[in-house]
Amino acid sequence: MELDMHPRRIGFHCMLSTPCLYTRGTGDNITVITAYVDDMLISSPSQKEVDCTKAKIMSKWGTQDNRAVREFLGVKITWERAQRKISLDLEAYIKAMVNKWLDGENNKSWIPMQHVATTAEGGECTPTKAKQYCQGSRA
């Protein structure tokens, strides 16, 4: 598979346990490529390494550089470079998964228990009914 061969040619090793992850180097010199279908994320403590890897990948496939990542596969990413911190916000991803699980039902609320309480009790789910349902009483 071509996606697998090119990272290997430029010195990356595929993680056996997670075939969509490729790594090169260690410590402050590590570079990680995360690939999923047609999305790719390149990360490293070194911006120079990110730029070098990006250039090699872009020259091979003619992909476009979307600059600093703000979102990847439904996960919101916030960088605080000065403190060397990354925050991952899964709210949008969780909402999408719950909506998929609920099969588009109950669009006003994405809280699973509200759907369960509505299904179990019938009718509209009020906060009182939801609390009673969670506590196991059905008064």
Give the total number of structural domains in the chain.
2
Q: Which residues pair with 42 in a beta bridge?
A: 33
* 11 lies in the same domain as 73: yes
Q: Where are the alpha helices (DSSP H) in 1-126?
A: 2-9, 47-61, 91-101, 112-121
What integer is the mean pLDDT of 105-128? 57
Same domain, 58 and 36: yes
Domain containing 118: what range? 91-135
Which tens digit of pLDDT belongs to each residue from 70-110?
Answer: 888 888 999 887 888 889 999 888 888 888 887 755 555 55
d(CA 71, CA 41): 10
The pLDDT assigned to 121 comes to 52
Check whether residue 29 and residue 75 sit in a common domain: yes
> Does residue 100 share a domain with residue 79?
no
Residues for the chain: how many in total?
Answer: 139
State whether 35 and 52 are in the same domain: yes
Q: ∠ at Cα 106 (104, 109), nearest 5°?
A: 110
AA letter at 45: P
Helix 127-135 × helix 112-121 angle, to 10°: 90
H or E element: which one contains 32? Answer: strand 31-36
Same-domain status, 108 and 131? yes
Same domain, 62 and 129: no
